[in-house]
């Protein structure tokens, strides 16, 4: 007989190879880097598990890493706080509540010969340009201290070379559009506008979005003039990643289990901190093609080992991330991406080897596709997805890569599908029709609220008689 103390569910390890997916490359004979790369470890995992392809928000929809991860974790129905706030948390900052924030970066620009004289972005600050970044930071800080626009005061907090978080104290809306073109070959430095949802909502929401968009336009034009007068080439300030934090979100409460992240960058540290996940930070050593993935895999193995030693400190979900394939894809050299994928393959050896003697669910996928041969930043192409574990029904696919996995038994998965699938394979599916708490979570919750102990002072109530119950 099973008692309450007995469990047979397993931990989940999700490895995200950032930007893994790709398009068929002409230089590779119509194959993708994943299909060309030598991946004996991923091939073995594919043979031992089930596969499919991951299209985070449906075929054709390109996405960013943070939005894909948010949904992959099982948080798709929870309001996303915004990447600027997560980046600020990730560097040890303290994002203010109920105050809008944006990512601010300086770019080099040039006036075009278009009829509107739009400013086109012609360069982005390199990581080694510390001196330019220091000058720009001082100019922007002085500018923020000198202005107040419609009772809104601006503050900057340094993130990285040429990048800051811009905080608008006194503003009551973050619902404005980006000014960073992101796609420099297509769009100019863009004007901030209130987003459609705020306009359609009307009332105070529309008014505040209009107020903030007007203030942002004045701020950025004034900052551009201040930077231009300083004499630096990078004098175009751009904003994106609008953020707003009212309260917080708990991974354990929303997903139902305790989670951990093995991190190496501000974004993922911030994500772990915002969600209250256990954080193990493993920095990426310089020159390591897989950006420290092997060390992060070792950290994930240690977390699994800790589960075996400590039932009270159980961790049911571990996330491991590497940026290597994405960064290689952005070089627009398929050979660089092949090399990155091959390095990641070697780094995953320890996890795949552990499947022989440990019972856990291991999944490997990408958060989006990063084409390595076109000018596209990201694309909505399918990304390989494979999962193995004790209860996984093995399919017939025996090679890693997009084309092979298109015929996998799992078909096309969206980001929202991943957490429920993995937790189900780990023997804790959420049971539709049963409500162990206020919400519906991706996994059967570990710690639903227990009934408080009742008083022993009241006499037991006798059950109703037959006549009373049938009256």
Residue 444 included in any domain: no
Together in a domain, 299 and 373: yes
Render pLDDT for 447-457 as a digit per residue (tens, 0 to 9).
898 888 876 66
Together in a domain, 222 and 264: no
User: What is the pLDDT confidence band of residue 307, given thresholds at 50, 70 and 90?
Assistant: confident
In order, the DSSP letters of 184-196 are TTT--SPPP-B-H
- The last residue of one of the domains, among 243, 272, 295, is 243
Q: Cα dist. 252→87, 273, 445, 448 in Å?
A: 21, 12, 8, 11
Count of C-beta atoms within a 10 Å radius of residue 297: 25
Residue 315 included in any domain: yes
Together in a domain, 153 and 170: yes
Residue 450 included in any domain: no
Together in a domain, 24 and 122: no
Q: Residue 112: what pLDDT? A: 85
Together in a domain, 154 and 266: no
Residue 375 included in any domain: yes
* Mean pLDDT within 108-113: 90
DSSP class of 21 = B
Q: Residue 284: what pLDDT? A: 72
Together in a domain, 140 and 224: yes
Together in a domain, 175 and 232: yes
How large a percentage of the chain has pLDDT more than 90? 82
Query: Could you give phi then psi for residue 403, rounded to 5 degrees?
Result: -65, -45
Structure tokens belonging to residue 144: 């923020």
Q: What is the rounded average pLDDT for all residues in the chain?
A: 93
Residue 466 included in any domain: no
| CATH number for the domain that contains residue 289 | 3.40.720.10
Together in a domain, 130 and 239: yes
Tell whether the model's pLDDT for residue 461 goes beyond 90.
Answer: no
* Mean pLDDT within 309-314: 61
- The last residue of one of the domains, among 212, 243, 274, is 243
Report the C-alpha gap between 386 and 406 in whole angstroms. 11
Together in a domain, 254 and 205: no
Count of C-beta atoms within a 10 Å radius of residue 188: 18
218: exposed, middle or buried (C-beta count within 10 Å: 0-12, 13-18, 19+)? middle
Together in a domain, 295 and 376: yes
Q: Residue 367: what pLDDT? A: 97
Question: How far does Cα 204 stand from its chain's mean position?
Answer: 31
Together in a domain, 106 and 224: yes
Q: Cα dist. 73→104, 245, 256, 303, 399 in Å?
A: 27, 19, 11, 18, 26
Residue 211 included in any domain: yes
* Mean pLDDT within 255-262: 96
Domain span at residue 333 reads: 12-78+249-425
Residue 53 included in any domain: yes
The structure tokens 């608008």 sit at 168
Residue 434 included in any domain: no
Q: Residue 3: what pLDDT? A: 54
Looking at the structure of the chain, the number of domains it has is 2
* Mean pLDDT within 310-338: 90
Render pLDDT for 175-203 as a digit per residue (tens, 0 to 9).
999 999 988 888 999 999 999 999 999 99
Bridge partners of 20? 369
Together in a domain, 360 and 378: yes
Judge whether 261 and 249 are in contact, CB under 8 Å: no
User: What is the pLDDT confidence band of residue 226, given thresholds at 50, 70 and 90?
Assistant: very high
In order, the DSSP letters of 59-78 are TT----HHHHHHHHTT-TTS
User: What is the pLDDT confidence band of residue 459, given thresholds at 50, 70 and 90?
Assistant: low
Q: Residue 458: what pLDDT? A: 62
Report the C-alpha gap between 173 and 206 in whole angstroms. 9
- The last residue of one of the domains, among 219, 243, 267, is 243
Helix axes 203-230, 130-146, angle to 10 degrees: 130
* Mean pLDDT within 381-403: 97
* Mean pLDDT within 198-222: 98
């Amino acid at each position: 007989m099973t008692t309450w103390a007995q469990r047979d569910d397993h931990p989940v390890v999700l490895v995200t190879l950032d930007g893994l997916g790709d398009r068929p490359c002409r230089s590779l004979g119509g194959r993708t880097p994943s299909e060309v790369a030598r991946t004996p470890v991923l091939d073995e995992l594919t043979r031992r598990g089930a596969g499919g392809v991951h299209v985070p928000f449906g075929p054709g929809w390109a996405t960013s890493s943070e939005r894909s991860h948010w949904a992959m974790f099982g948080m798709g129905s929870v309001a996303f706080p915004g990447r600027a706030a997560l980046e600020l948390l990730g560097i040890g900052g303290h994002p203010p509540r109920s105050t809008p924030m944006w990512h601010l970066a300086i770019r080099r620009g040039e006036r075009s010969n278009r009829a509107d004289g739009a400013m086109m972005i012609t360069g982005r600050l390199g990581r080694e340009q510390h001196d330019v970044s220091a000058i720009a930071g001082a100019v922007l800080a002085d500018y923020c201290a000198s202005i107040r626009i419609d009772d809104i005061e601006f503050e900057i907090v340094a993130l990285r070379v040429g990048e800051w978080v811009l905080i608008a104290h006194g503003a009551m809306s973050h619902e404005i559009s980006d000014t960073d073109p992101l796609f420099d070959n297509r769009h100019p430095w863009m004007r901030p506008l209130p987003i459609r949802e705020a306009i359609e909502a009307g009332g105070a929401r529309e008014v505040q979005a209009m107020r903030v968009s007007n203030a942002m336009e004045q701020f950025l034009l004034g900052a551009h003039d201040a930077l231009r007068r300083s004499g630096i080439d990078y004098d175009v300030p751009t904003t994106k990643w609008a953020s707003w934090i009212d309260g917080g979100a708990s991974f354990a409460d929303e997903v139902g289990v305790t989670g951990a992240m093995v991190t190496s960058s501000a974004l993922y540290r911030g994500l772990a901190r915002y969600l209250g996940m256990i954080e193990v930070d493993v920095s990426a050593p310089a020159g390591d093609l897989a950006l420290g993935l092997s060390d992060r895999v070792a950290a994930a193995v240690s977390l699994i080992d800790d589960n075996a030693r400590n039932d009270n400190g159980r961790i049911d979900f571990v996330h491991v991330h590497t940026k290597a394939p994405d960064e290689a894809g952005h070089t627009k050299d398929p050979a660089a991406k092949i090399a990155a994928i091959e390095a990641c393959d070697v780094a995953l050896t320890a996890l795949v080897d552990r499947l022989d003697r440990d019972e856990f669910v291991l999944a490997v996928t990408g958060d989006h596709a990063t084409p390595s041969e076109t000018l596209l930043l990201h694309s909505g192409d399918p990304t390989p997805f494979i999962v193995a574990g004790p209860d996984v029904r093995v399919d017939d696919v025996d090679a890693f890569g997009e084309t092979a996995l298109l015929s996998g038994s799992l078909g096309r998965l969206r980001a929202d599908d991943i957490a429920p699938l993995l937790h189900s394979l780990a023997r804790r599916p959420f049971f539709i029709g049963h409500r162990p708490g206020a919400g519906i979570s991706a996994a059967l919750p570990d710690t639903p609220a227990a009934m408080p102990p009742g008083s022993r002072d009241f006499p037991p109530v006798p059950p109703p008689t037959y006549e009373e119950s049938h009256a």
